[in-house]
Structure 1
């Protein structure tokens, strides 16, 4: 089940809200847990066992880590290592087994059979959440959760279970046991959910059709401008797809009394690769910073150690996204640019005109998205060659003109939507004409919901891109 489905919008969500609000406070977590397991079981009933096992494992590991943290730190560390091994082991087994087998077969010329295990949806996200829980208990930044239902609710919470944002236990520790929802916050949650729905259904899905059309053409026959148009479409699709999910998740969280962290902040307004990762998938970047980069020494152990740490972090970031070499290349691509920026390029960019800064960023981020978009890295390299005229059908052709003119209105809409123009206008006018703006915004949200629903009636399947990670 996905948020952008009629089943979720008009059956699962309304029923969930009614059940949640009519039940007594002391059983709200249990109701949420059952609802979350049903949500997850809709597509993968077998893997409920895996999720429950993760919750039980981390529940007992958290208690044991806390018990020995002061008395016998070495024993507490062993329990922490045990927790990490179990979590990383499960993630590696289901996500990277066939990738490892593929490379062993290639390197040693053997024929080990692939396991062909279906990837549990959302395992990359909830595994990172459970690991952060154990680590934070060990560090003493949070107390262990003594109510197993509450911890299981945290692990399985359906609003952000599938594709984040990655919510650390410390963020919602208090809300797991004591939360309230005001009418204002509930309304804000509904509004944010509808905005996310519109991003996904109206923007991501439609601009994604343009990318699908272009990538399904023979790469050798694409003109330079067509390839650039295609990767621009992909960049916009993945942004509105993923940020749309995050908005819906954060909005749902507010409806149930949780405050999830922001995950995107207009990333395409960045002027450097470094800034981009402060705006894109912010919860993932913060996770790697706090649990990998800083423990490795960060920038405190000299210049060369800084660069090594960056390559380790970005290599892991790449492989976290998928069991394929193109994701590793994508991660290391960022490691190279962020290292160069830290070595002095950022200082140079700050002296340049903002137009040059932004042009530099857009040019190289689009090249990076090519590495991300093609699981077959050779195909990705061929696409890059076409982008620079080495294997293309000229600079532009009739196909480019067709795609451009038939999508120009959509392109303008998504490009403007990727900037803070709408937020600026809304804040400017809502203060001056509060009552009129309230009415207009209500109409605006209702229109998005109605139009999105109309689109969903004609679509049979529209999964989020990040579900595969």
Structure 2
């Protein structure tokens, strides 16, 4: 079931009505409804994979309780190892089995040992497996670290693992944030409800009006890059940068907005990453739930920045390469992660990687300084070049695409119309750059009837565009 479909609209209205009008007498009734709704939402794709979510939930629920009730350190480590082995094993089998087999066969072929591949399997990748396995792993790790007391309420824990707004594409929530909200009483708030509806509408605009429109151009350019000059290829790379941002952040906006309708706040996942002034800042603004997950559960356990710069750089490369592999079973993703590690190194060596931790670009001005603009532009162009590997089918095609970008220079006369979408998105992001959840305080001065008319008009346009695409375009990060 896709957010940008009429099926989801009906589903949301029914669940919302039951949640606040029928099951609002007790929190546990609401949690039962959330669990049933979440399993129905996920089962819409393939009900067979519901067993994976249930087993993963059961394993980490039991392991969490056992770790909490065990004093002996060695036994606690064994229990944690069971959780890690199970969740990583799920990912390794469903997502990476064929990748590792094919890579090994290729290595043997390069060494002159030609073997027939009889090991590859016809494995279907379960939607969202990378997201909910990381979510449950963080729970058991936090219990092991004694940062979290495990819950005995299995229904609430299962609702936390499978919470439908963020189940298949994040944000990857921490139990310390989401679980207490599911265990606690929720009260309906009209103000939060309106904030949620506006976030949903903004997310749909990003997805349907910008991402899906640019996708048609991106698919054509990347699919036929031999036929185009360098100018068009540059446009294709820039369009993909905006497409994947609007597609993924649009999903996050909708997820956060839907959660608000149920009285639950999710963590931020994007904070205007294309206004970053270096790659370190970019990763503090892009896919925040994943980058902070790797920081807390991989980078810091490896030693973080505590053991000198060389070991710290080693740890940086590890998390970027693993992050690349997390995105997909293809060497293009690994190279993409490695490129970001290389782009991160200069600012890290010069001690500038933490320079823009909290500062908002042009915080007290409408325009950035010349230096800020140059830094933003350089960072954006470097990120765009790296996106070519992310989007390409193979390393060979990515390298060829990049080569043509710099050698087949021309002034494109086609696909220029996509720049309107790019410019509109960046302009609106610049207006809202102080608050990723859409700060509508300036709307208070606008007549409510006029504002309502504009919002309804935008909604009509979105619904019309969805109706034109009867297949409803899938979100890019569903494949991860």
Normalising by structure 2, we get a TM-score of 0.91
Contact 2:128–2:167 (CA under 8 A) maintained in structure 1: yes
Residue 208 of structure 1: aligned partner: 215
Question: Which stretch shifts more, 184-193 or 276-285?
Answer: 184-193
- Structure 1 counterpart of 2:163, from 157, 162, 174: 157
Alignment of 1:10-409 (within 5 A): 11-21=10-20, 22-23=22-23, 24-25=25-26, 26-68=28-70, 71-108=71-108, 109-110=114-115, 111-178=117-184, 179-217=186-224, 219-344=225-350, 346=352, 353-389=371-407, 392=408, 394-396=409-411, 400-404=412-416, 406-409=417-420
Question: Could you tell me how far 1:445 is from its partner in structure 2?
Answer: 2.6
Partners of 1:121 and 1:92 lie apart in 2 by: 15
Query: Relative to structure 1, is the Cα distance of residues 180 and 295 closer, same or farther in structure 2, using a 3 angstrom cutoff?
Result: same
1:429–1:261 CA distance, 2 compared to 1 (3 A): closer
Of 189-198 and 29-38, the range deviating more from structure 2? 189-198
| Structure 2 segments unaligned to the other structure (5+ residues) | 109-113, 357-368
Q: CA deviation at 1:195?
A: 1.0
The CA distance in 2 between the partners of 1:423 and 1:364, in whole Å, is 24
Give the Cα separation in 1 of the matches to 2:118 and 2:394. Answer: 21
**Structure 2 residue 423 is the aligned partner of structure 1 residue 417:** no
Q: Distance in 2 between matches of 1:123 and 1:427?
A: 29
In structure 1, runs of 5+ residues without a counterpart are none
CA deviations 1:211-257 (Å, max 9, x no partner) are 1222232x233211111011110000000000000000001111112
- The 3 A distance-change label for structure 1 pair 75 and 143 is same
1:402, distance to aligned residue in structure 2 (A) = 2.4
RMSD: 2.2
Q: TM-score, normalised by structure 1?
A: 0.93
Pairs aligned (count): 456
Specify the alignment match of 1:452 in structure 2: 462
Deviation at 1:72, TM superposition (A): 1.1
> Distance between the aligned counterparts of 1:358 and 1:228, measured in 2?
17
C-alpha deviation, 1:159, in angstroms: 0.3
Query: Which of structure 1's runs of 4+ aligned residues deviate more than 6 A?
Result: 347-352, 426-429
